[in-house]
Structure formats: C-alpha cells, structure tokens
Structure 1
Amino acid sequence: MQQLQPDDVVWRNARLATMDPDQTAPYGIMEECALVVRGQHILAVVPEAELPPAHRNIVDLEGRLVTPGLIDCHTHLVFGGDRASEWEQRLNGVSYKTIGERGGGINATVTATRSSTPEALLALAQQRLQRLMSEGVTTIEIKSGYGLNAEAETKMLQVAQRLARNNPVEVCPTLLAAHAVPGEYRHDPDAYLTLVCEEILPALWQEGLFEAVDVFCENVGFTPAQTERLFQAATARGIPVKGHVEQLSNLGGAALVSRYSGLSADHIEYLDDVGVRAMAQHGTVAVLLPGAFYFLQERQRPPVEALRKRGVPMAVATDYNPGTSPFASLHLAMNMACVQFGLTPEEAWAGVTRHAARALGRGATHGQLKAGFVADFIVWDAQHPVEMVYEPGRNPLHQRVFRGTKA
C-alpha cells in the first residue's frame, strides 16, 4: 500500500463483502480488513494489522458489514401520472386491449408526461429516487421513453440531469425514444423511427443528454429490422446500445443486441440458446427484471441455468415503471430474482453490484470494493449480505458513502 496522505480516510473495523471475484470467499468477504479511501476512489483494501499506528482520519465501523453501493441498471424513473386504475381494471377482468382502446396503457403515460412541467416530473422522480437511495443505491440508470417526441424526450433527460446534480447518486441516462410508436405515427411506425434516427438521436446526443440507446424490440414494439436501423444510427456515432428483448416472444433481439456489442439484453424471458451463445460470445450482460414478471403474472422464466452454463453475467434491476413494475426497491427485486428465477443470494448480490456495473459500461470502476474503484459503498447494521435479500421489508442501512463522502 502507498504511504497514507493526511486527507486519506481509513474505514476500519468492518466485515467487507467486496464482491471481488478474485477473492475466494463467497461474496468476496474479507474479515478484519479496512478500506483506505483517497478522494473519490478506493486506494487499498488492507488487513487491520497493516494499518499505520496513527492516522488522523479513521472511521471505526464497529464490526459492521460493508458492501459496494447498489446499482439499479434498468429504470424508467421519470414519468408523469400513474397507472393504478388500469391495474385495478385488469384485476377486475378488463383486457389490456380494451384498456388501450380507452386511451390507457403506455399512451396514458405518454400523455401525462408530455403535459407535465419539468418541475412536476422532477418532484415525482425525486420521491422515487429517494426510496432507492435509502436502500443503498449509489448508481442508477434512468431511461427516457414516455415522451416519444423531441421536446418531451429532451424534457425527460434534462430532468434526469437535474436529479444527478441534486443528489449524491450517479445517473446513467439512456435514450429510449424507440419505446413505442406514438399515436400520431400509429399508421407509419417507420416514419417515426426515421424521426428518432435522423433527428431525435443526433440532436440529443450532441447536447450530451444520454450515454446509451435502448429499444423495445417486440411484437408490440419494434421489429428486428427497425431495431437494427436504430442500432446502425447509434453505432455510427459511437453510441453504446442495449435492448428490451425477448420479454413476450422470441424475435432474436438478444442475438441482434449482441451482434452490435450491446451492453445488455434486458427481460429475456423467451431467450433461446442461440441468443445465450451470442451474449456469451460478445460479452452482453443479461439484465433480469423479476418485478415485471411478477406484476404481469408471467409464466415463462429467463433461462438462468443456460446463462450460468455459458458464463453470461446476470444483472438484476427494478425496472421501475408505472405500467409493469411499480417497485422502487432493489432489495425486493433481489428477493424476487431468487424466489422466482432461481438465483442464489450471492448471484443476486453480484447482479446489483459488479454485473449491474458492467451493464452500464462501468465494470472497471464500479460495483466492487477494490483498489482503483470509485468509493461508493454502504455500511449495514448486518452480519451477512443475505439479510437484505431474505427480508426485503427490513432496511439495515447504517451509512451511505458516495464518492468517498458520507451521504
């Protein structure tokens, strides 16, 4: 370890669940070790016995558990209105088609989002973000996709920027203008995709409003051919891509995302072995979204065992959104991933730390307690990481540290 500088901070007397795969213990647990933080990064992870006898900046954690900050790598946090009444209608036997014909579904959220002021959207999103931060989230992806025109998509991404400025959290903004075909283009979806590829995407990229492009490739969304058009437009500008794919059917979307070296393929309930092999070959992360699976009462589960066999990293996220996953709890998503999809608790933890980081293009800097990584970590009144998965209604968070500073 380098010689300590006066402003370095030593976080000692802790049980570290590093989530470092190079460690042999489950969860990368290291006993009787300390975190040494310099500025916004971890300088070293060292045994207590190697600490200098005297240093002015020492935080005694009194034997508590420390983990990396949680990463929610798939959310739709910014939107207007809600869809609670639609959910009640569905439970009372009204079909999704009928609800859509009455102006419900995603079009209802688009209408509410377009008509909302930036301040109103910010206030609602702040409440949702606060709930996630209170559970230990330090990095979050926020998608657009409820605007479906240049003005409203810009508004959503600007709200995401303001959330990042106003809170101790890292926001990863994603352009999801290809979330659905807006009503004004329902008879000409190709024309809408042209608008996205030739106007919305380049303009908002030039403004620095997003860092990746997403698309809903599905039989109720965009075709594989249309998806490839979008990917070509994005990659021509050096923009990373990802996709909502294989949620309701198998259109080969995951293989398409992988062919473009996509960051992640998300949902993937109907993923086949061809898609699994493509993801393994190209390093595309599988993002599992058990909240939507639960809320929609789906039966087709993601092929977890095939993903394990091929070594595809599996991330876990909330998919927080008004229509299919209104759950601002990453602890709950972890529990659901274990109960519904068969992940182990350690896999669920990897899914909200190092694998989620990789799904956001941050695998070399986030999601582990390791020298050189960003100093985002959580101190828990807990002995073992399984506690947060086992009992999602209890939140033992003691201290949240963001970029080396108590937050």
Structure 2
Amino acid sequence: MEALELLVRNTSEVLTLEGTHRERAEDALTPRPGACVGVRDGVIAFVGPEAQLPAGAVGAGTTVLDAQGGFVGPGFVDPHTHLVFAGERSAEFDLRNQGATYLEIAKAGGGIVGTVRATRAASEDELIQLALPRLRRLLSHGVTVAEVKSGYGLDVENELKMLRVVRRLGALTPVELVPTLLCAHAVPEEYKGRREDYVRLCIDEILPAVAREGLARFCDVFVEDSAFTVDEGRRILTAARALGLVPRLHADQLTALGASELAAELGAATADHLEQVTDAGLRALAAANVTAVLVPTSTLFLRMRPYAPGRRIRDAGLNIALGSNVNPGSAMSENVALVLGLACLENGLSAAEAYWAATRGAALSLGLQRQGRLAVGDPGDLVSFSCASYRHLPYHLGIGHARTVVKAGRVVARQELDSCG
C-alpha cells in the first residue's frame, strides 16, 4: 500500500456515519470501536483496526495523530449561517431582554434593516475581515463545511458584493463554504410601501445577476409576517429554480403561514426553523423528502417558545440538520456545542440524532453526498475529540471538545485540551 499522508490512531471509536436517517440513529452513526483512520491524497483511504493496516501504510512522510483515547468523527457541517455582515445589534438584544419582541423591533425599523445599512456601507475587504474571526470560531468547534447566506444587501450591487465576499472567503479559510442567495430576507427601507417593486427587483435583476456570475448554489426566502408572503416566496423561488438555484425556505419560525407546505410544493432542499410547524406542514415535508434544519440557538437567543418539535419531526421520518444560524440579530453565537445541547434539551433529540444532524444530516441538506461521513473515498475531513463518546458533547453543555480538526487530510486547527470522561 502506498504510504498514508495522515494516520489517526489510539481512538475510543470512529464514527463513520454510513447509515441513513431512516434507521435508528445509534446504528446510523456506524461506530468502529478502537479503529484508526488513514488519509491519502486528501480522502479517506483506510478505516479499521490498526493491526489490519496494509504493509507500507505508514512511511517516513506519514503524520501520525494520537487521538489520546478520544473519539473521531467527520467534520461538522453547518447548514445555516449568516456569517457575512457588518455592525452589531446589542441594543436590540437589551430591548428584547426588557420585553420587546423580534417583530416589534422589526416593525420599528430595527432588526434586519439595521444590519443592511451597516453592511451596505462596508467594503468587501471590511466584510472579509469581520467574517474571518467568525469562521475561525466555527472551525475551532470542528466545522469543516458551512453554508453562508447573503441577505444584508437587498439590492443588486450589495447582494452581489456579499456573495463575492463568500467566494473570496472560501480561498482564505480551511472551511468549505456553500453560498446561498437570500435577497428575499426583508423588504429594504427604500421599498417601504412598494413591496411588489422589490419582489420584481429580486426576480428580474438580482437573481439573473447572481446566476450569471455563478455566485450561489441555493436561493432562500424568509416567509414571515415581517418579511415575505407565501405567494411572494413561490414567485421568487420558482424564478430561482428556473435559473438553476435550489430552493430553501426560512419556514414557520414566528408564525405558521404555510411556508412548510410551500417548501414541499417546490421540492425545496430544506425548510429551516420550523418552531411553529403544523402537523399538516410536517406531513407535506415528509412526503416531499425535504430536510428540516433546526436552529435552536435562535429560539434561546430570542427568548421564545416553543422550540422546533424535533421529536415530532424525527418521528415523521424527515432528515434533520442542525445549524448555528450565527447572525447579529437572532443568534450571535458560533457555539456548535451549545447547538448540540439545545437540540437534545429543547428540541427533544437524542445525542445520536443530534450528532447525525450536525454531520451527515447537514451535509445531505446541502446536497453534499460524500461529506459528513468517513467511508473510504470520502473527503478527509475529520475531528478528533477530547472525550471518549459523542454523548458527552451535548451533555457537557456549551463546551467545545474538538481537539484536532483535519480538512482534506491536513491539520487546520488544534487545541490543547485535557481528556474528559
């Protein structure tokens, strides 16, 4: 055997995640007790007992990574972020803690439009310098792939600017970035009272410009009382799909308006949030095989109830993904460990279901067939944790245990962490 570039050994177990979301989650993680992992040419070349390594697998140029008895799994995939923005909204956070609601703040001229003003005023270089620390914090938790939305430009020039920033960031960070157009995030201030004109701008100008430059893989719409109607979402996403962009929706977050049913109707890749999803919405999503993306940090941050009904969603047969939703207004946190804990405590998922949702489930939601998994031939994106079991991650609430993060076979982040039980 040709020598490996990287060998990860001395593990408690390796989770390869070669199962499906339709089986028991503990089985879908497909654990390999005591296995080692070998990477060559950036992809997984071996998973199994170290005693079964072929002759010549470890050579003079092989980097040997000691997992110190911790478990190893695929890199986390964050399927829902708003990483690129300028400004901050701590004053709104303070108002919410004094009783103001998200919708009240938005209707008073705050919320998304405040971030739009700051983001429009920032240059591409400034946005990159603001986003890089956020990406580094995600990477420190073990995130190797992240979706990134636009949505704070809300005109042709600035939506293109944001997506160009995402493309440039992809060359500056080890984290693989998946771009999403979210021009239908809010109606900008200059279109107040002219909603139809802004919808036409999205359809006639922003979407074609993004498609011409190949700047996005997905198109998302925020269907909500303070944002866009079901009919407006249908028109925008139908136009996006005709241009080759895959539909996604912010659905049923604050009110149940039928966004889940729209996601099913359009064959969307995902319906995200779902705090207010109805039984009819769940049936429609399941029938259309739409992935449910849960973002529990937002529910916590906004001090709202209920959390998305993860147990009902799982029992309905949907694939589930977990996202950080890092953004300045409703989830100012890159703490993936907190996401996992809240998914168990508040969304009702088991530790295995939460781990699936943050890895393989999230990768599938982005149409990535080989990420979030550690089978031979998959990308060499993996994390060595300081704990012996994935069950410790949501239990040790909000504490990151990613000791070493590997992207395409290369160590890209490392932390000195003591082993934990």
TM-score bin (small chain): over 0.9
| Equivalent-residue separation in structure 1 for 2:385 and 2:29 (angstroms) | 15
Structure 1: 4+ residue segments shifted above 6 A: none
| Equivalent-residue separation in structure 2 for 1:111 and 1:60 (angstroms) | 46
Change (3 A) 1:393 1:289: closer
Change (3 A) 1:354 1:294: same
Residue of structure 2 in register with 1:373 after alignment: 378
Residue of structure 2 in register with 1:268 after alignment: 274
Residue of structure 2 in register with 1:341 after alignment: 347
- The residue type equivalent to 2:396 in the other structure is E
Residue of structure 2 in register with 1:191 after alignment: 197
List runs of 5+ in structure 2 lacking aligned partners: 413-421
- Report Cα offsets for 1:98-118 as digits up to 9, x if no partner: 644664221111101111122
SS at match of 2:246: coil
| Equivalent-residue separation in structure 1 for 2:259 and 2:133 (angstroms) | 33
Residue of structure 2 in register with 1:49 after alignment: 51
Change (3 A) 1:237 1:183: same
Residue correspondence of structure 1 range 112-127 to structure 2 within 5 A: 112-127=118-133
| Equivalent-residue separation in structure 2 for 1:125 and 1:24 (angstroms) | 35
CA positional deviation for 1:39: 1.1
Equivalent in 60, 64, 67 of residue 59 of structure 1: 64
Answer yes or no: is the 8 Å Cα contact 2:296–2:307 preserved in 1: no
| Equivalent-residue separation in structure 1 for 2:76 and 2:347 (angstroms) | 20
Residue of structure 2 in register with 1:12 after alignment: 9
- Report Cα offsets for 1:231-271 as digits up to 9, x if no partner: 21011122111000111111211121122221100001111
CA positional deviation for 1:46: 2.4
Question: TM-score of the superposition, structure 2-length normalised?
Answer: 0.91
CA positional deviation for 1:7: 4.9
Equivalent in 67, 78, 82 of residue 84 of structure 2: 78
| Equivalent-residue separation in structure 2 for 1:368 and 1:345 (angstroms) | 17
SS at match of 1:327: coil
Range moving further from structure 2, 35-44 or 143-152? 35-44
SS at match of 1:59: strand
Answer yes or no: is the 8 Å Cα contact 1:9–1:58 preserved in 2: yes
Change (3 A) 1:204 1:354: same
Residue correspondence of structure 1 range 1-400 to structure 2 within 5 A: 4-14=1-11, 15-21=13-19, 25=27, 27-54=29-56, 55-56=58-59, 57=62, 59-61=64-66, 62-94=68-100, 99-100=105-106, 103-362=109-368, 364-400=369-405
Change (3 A) 1:310 1:63: same
Answer yes or no: is the 8 Å Cα contact 2:309–2:348 preserved in 1: no
Residue of structure 1 in register with 2:417 after alignment: none
Change (3 A) 1:40 1:97: closer
CA positional deviation for 1:353: 0.2
CA positional deviation for 1:13: 3.0
| Equivalent-residue separation in structure 1 for 2:284 and 2:101 (angstroms) | 36
| Equivalent-residue separation in structure 1 for 2:386 and 2:343 (angstroms) | 23
Range moving further from structure 2, 43-52 or 104-113? 43-52
- The residue type equivalent to 1:272 in the other structure is T
SS at match of 2:219: strand
Change (3 A) 1:97 1:359: closer
Answer yes or no: is the 8 Å Cα contact 2:337–2:399 preserved in 1: no
- The residue type equivalent to 1:372 in the other structure is G
| Equivalent-residue separation in structure 1 for 2:242 and 2:122 (angstroms) | 33
CA positional deviation for 1:63: 3.2
CA positional deviation for 1:64: 3.0
Change (3 A) 1:301 1:91: closer
Answer yes or no: is the 8 Å Cα contact 2:18–2:28 preserved in 1: no
- The residue type equivalent to 1:80 in the other structure is A
Question: TM-score of the superposition, structure 1-length normalised?
Answer: 0.94
| Equivalent-residue separation in structure 2 for 1:40 and 1:403 (angstroms) | 4
Answer yes or no: is the 8 Å Cα contact 1:318–1:325 preserved in 2: yes
Range moving further from structure 2, 55-64 or 198-207? 55-64
Answer yes or no: is the 8 Å Cα contact 2:359–2:373 preserved in 1: yes
CA positional deviation for 1:220: 1.4
- Report Cα offsets for 1:325-364 as digits up to 9, x if no partner: 11111111111111111111111111110110011111x2
Change (3 A) 1:400 1:191: same
